[in-house]
Amino acid sequence: MGPSVKSSSALLTFTNQAEALWQAYLAEGAGQVDRAAYAALAACSPAARDEAPDALAPAIQRIEQLSQQIACTPQGLNFVSGEAGLVPRRDLHAEFTQHLETLRKLCGPQDIPPTP
């Protein structure tokens, strides 16, 4: 296990980047999140994995994968339906928020505001 999660600036930076990307996705919708938001998150992901406890590596990796899907695909975390258009993948939304909440708890509630 690495250093204290509270002192991990890379993990906090990663969590803040993920939170910002998620908030942008919720506000702007599929296909509207700037790829630069994903690039910033991906850039700090290796350092976050290095500093985080081993048990967090899967959560960090999955947030990075889902963030790439949000920022780099027109459908984001939606299913494309010919009849209904974009249908939110509730399972992917729940997975992202669950992993983000795990990171928030380990970084400390005073550091990262919760998602409304």
Q: Are 114 and 104 in contact (CB under 8 A)?
A: yes
pLDDT in tens, 56-109: 999 999 999 999 999 999 999 999 988 888 899 999 999 999 999 999 988 875
Strand extents, DSSP E, 1-116:
78-81, 85-88
What is the pLDDT confidence band of residue 19, given thresholds at 50, 70 and 90?
Answer: very high
The percentage of the chain sitting over the pLDDT mark of 70, rounded to a whole number, equals: 86
Q: Are 103 and 63 in contact (CB under 8 A)?
A: yes
Question: Which residues, in sequence order, are CB contacts of 64 under 8 Å at separation 6+?
Answer: 41, 42, 45
**Rounded to an integer, what distance in angstroms lies between the CA atom of residue 30 and that of residue 69?**
10
